Amino acid sequence: MTQSKGTMFPPELVSDLVDKVKGKSSLAVLSQQVPVAFNGNKEFTFTMDSDIDIVAENGKKSHGGLTVEPVTIIPLKVEYGARISDEFMYATADQKMDILKAFNDGYAKKLARGIDLMAFHGINPRSKTASAVIGDNHFDKQVTQKVDFTTDNPDANIEAAVGLVQGSEGSVTGMAMDTVMSSALAAMRTGDGVRVFPELAWGANPGSINGLTADINSTVSGGTDDLAIIGDFTNMFKWGYAKEIPLEVIQYGDPDNSGEDLKGHNQVYLRSETFVGWGIMDGNQFARVAKAKVEA
């Protein structure tokens, strides 16, 4: 169980990590996971340009047309590290596994949140600033169909967003919403005071609303004006990771640039890296509900 630079997380911890990511990331909940190669994947969307054609006996067949749009999923590297006591190096195998499990649990939560923040908003999760590495490969850039949020009838905002997606000949398979939106829906009452969405009461995350798969997560806003993203997550968004997840146990130096030498402070440094990628097949298959921007 002694880990050293260049080793990998044990397979059981990798499996546990991925399962926890799926439970904490709205995008992982709503969309398909695909294997991602280190040099990237090219995914294709095929659009039939016309409807089928009736052909009479001895009749002439005509060209229907096909549009092929490739989307490349390029994995990017993310990392997380933490200092722990160098007693880790002298612990028993069982104790080391307990420490790695705890690190794995925390890393899974950060990785899940990071996937959402990167793919929803194109930001570096740690700095909360736009990432040049991500560029335009995120929902805030790719999804131009938008509905302004109104507090008096958030249900109507959702319906309007659904209408935009369906108006683009798309399907709505899921919705990710911020807690502000779920609270606004939970507060809606009928004329006689009955809750319109009782399943959202008291901050609940029921998994579906009105039969639509839904996930509630603060990553949907992530410091932006977004409150809900609706569309075809099943077919038009794909994500994945490279299965080998490196784990380093660094015993020397100052790997986090904190100015403190590890050996001088009786510490070691745990660092894990993951290669994760995603692709939005067609931004017109989604719509956002966002707070209206106030003109200065």
Is 229 or 293 the better-scoring residue by pLDDT? 229
Determine the Cα–Cα distance for residues 20 and 267; give it in Å rounded to an integer: 28
pLDDT one-digit tens code per residue, 271-287: 888 999 999 999 999 99
**What are the structural domains of the chain?**
7-45+71-290 (3.90.1690)
> What average pLDDT score do residues 121-126 get?
96
pLDDT one-digit tens code per residue, 92-107: 888 888 888 888 888 9
What is the pLDDT confidence band of residue 235, given thresholds at 50, 70 and 90?
very high
Output the pLDDT for position 209.
96
| Beta partners for residue 75, in sequence order | none
Determine the Cα–Cα distance for residues 6 and 87; give it in Å rounded to an integer: 20
pLDDT for residue 91 is more than 90: no
Of 84-98, 125-139, 149-163, give the lowest mean pLDDT range: 84-98
Determine the Cα–Cα distance for residues 280 and 31; give it in Å rounded to an integer: 11
DSSP state letter for 187: T
pLDDT one-digit tens code per residue, 177-189: 999 999 999 999 9
Output the pLDDT for position 31.
94
Output the pLDDT for position 3.
41
pTM: 0.86
Average pLDDT, whole number, for the chain?
Answer: 88
* Cα of 203 vs its chain's centroid, Å: 21
Percentage with pLDDT > 70 across the chain:
89
Give the residue among 127, 130, 152, 121 at the shortest CA–CA distance from 229: 121
> What average pLDDT score do residues 185-209 get?
95
What is the pLDDT confidence band of residue 78, given thresholds at 50, 70 and 90?
very high
Give the residue among 164, 139, 160, 138 at the shortest CA–CA distance from 148: 160
What is the pLDDT confidence band of residue 153, given thresholds at 50, 70 and 90?
very high
E strand map for the chain: 7-8, 32-33, 41-48, 66-73, 76-85, 146-148, 174-177, 208-209, 212-216, 226-231, 237-241, 246-250, 267-280, 286-290
pLDDT for residue 172 is more than 90: yes
Output the pLDDT for position 294.
61
Please give the torsion angle defined by the CA atoms of residues 255, 91, 112 and 243, in that order, rounded to the nearest 10 degrees.
90
Output the pLDDT for position 11.
73
pLDDT for residue 12 is more than 80: no
33: number of Cβ within 10 Å: 15
What is the pLDDT confidence band of residue 163, given thresholds at 50, 70 and 90?
very high
237 in Cβ contact with 42 (< 8 Å): no
Output the pLDDT for position 266.
92
Percentage with pLDDT > 90 across the chain:
57
18 in Cβ contact with 42 (< 8 Å): no
What is the pLDDT confidence band of residue 221, given thresholds at 50, 70 and 90?
very high
